[in-house]
Chain A
Amino acid sequence: QSALTQPPSASGSPGQSVTISCTGTSSDVGGYNYVSWYQQHPGKAPKLIIYDVTKRPSGVPDRFSGSKSDNTASLTVSGLQAEDEADYYCSSYAGGNLGVFGGGTKLTV
């Protein structure tokens, strides 16, 4: 299982929207609707913010949204806020139960 491909960095100004891509193959992202996204602030544990491609766990603001087209999943953060500055990781089911992660994207606000 190869890691999913994410851009190393992304940026936006407060109030703007930014989209982070996550590219895989037909064996992972493209083959299943089991994509998730995690937010990680420096020195902190990751936090699940999107699962099942588009669903948000309780307590996650609706400024965070997910989508998928073919082998590429995307995370969009709307109305950027300073606290959104963090690393973001995508993950996809790829057979088995461990999933595969992307390399991460550092979002600068």
Chain B
Amino acid sequence: EVQLAESGGGLVQPGGSLRLSCAASGFALSGFSMYWVRQAPGKGLESISFITSGSYTTHYADSVKGRFTISRDNAKNSLFLQMNGLRVEDTAVYYCVRDLRGDCMGGSCYPGYWGQGTLVTVPS
């Protein structure tokens, strides 16, 4: 069974940093592209970052580009999101998500398996 467990969320002051982790089990992380998707309280979904299986390609939403960095350690079956320069508008539940089918590029990429999320709060 595919399982994804996020950790590292919490309360952080504006301008601060957090590092989110995602422990994957039930499958070999090395075979799959991965995503971070966030959801602000009471709002919709926003895909913010993507990484291919071998870390060769990464993508970021404009809203986090230059502040967030996605990385992975396939040997430890772990995905990470380093968040710097946090803003009030970064307050959200952050989901670690595995691609539906494997390593992917372009339109065939689908966030298919989701963790339960970790809450990041940046107070005003």
**Chain A residues close to B by CB (< 8 Å):** 3, 32-34, 36, 38, 44-48, 51, 57, 89, 91, 93, 96-104
Contact = CB atoms under 8 A, between A and B. Distances in A.
24 contacts: A34-B107, A44-B116, A45-B95, A45-B114, A46-B45, A48-B100, A48-B110, A48-B111, A51-B110, A51-B112, A57-B100, A91-B45, A93-B107, A96-B59, A97-B57, A97-B104, A97-B105, A97-B106, A98-B35, A98-B48, A98-B59, A98-B61, A99-B47, A100-B47
A51 B117 contact: no
Interface residues of B, number: 30
A32 B114 contact: no
Nearest to A6: B44
B13 to A, nearest CB: 27
A89 B108 CA distance: 18
A100 B111 CA distance: 12
B50 A98 contact: yes
B102 interface: no
Q: DSSP class of A's interface residues: helix, strand, loop or mixed?
A: loop
B12 interface: no
Given A46-B114, A91-B47, A99-B109, 9 more contacts: A34-B107, A46-B37, A46-B95, A47-B114, A48-B113, A57-B112, A97-B33, A97-B50, A97-B104
Q: Which of A32, A47, A48, A89 has the most CB of B within 10 A?
A: A48
A2 B60 CA distance: 15
Interface in B92-124: 95, 100, 104-117
A56 B110 CA distance: 12
A14 B4 CA distance: 34
A96 to B, nearest CB: 5
A93 B106 contact: yes
Nearest to A45: B114
B44 A89 contact: yes
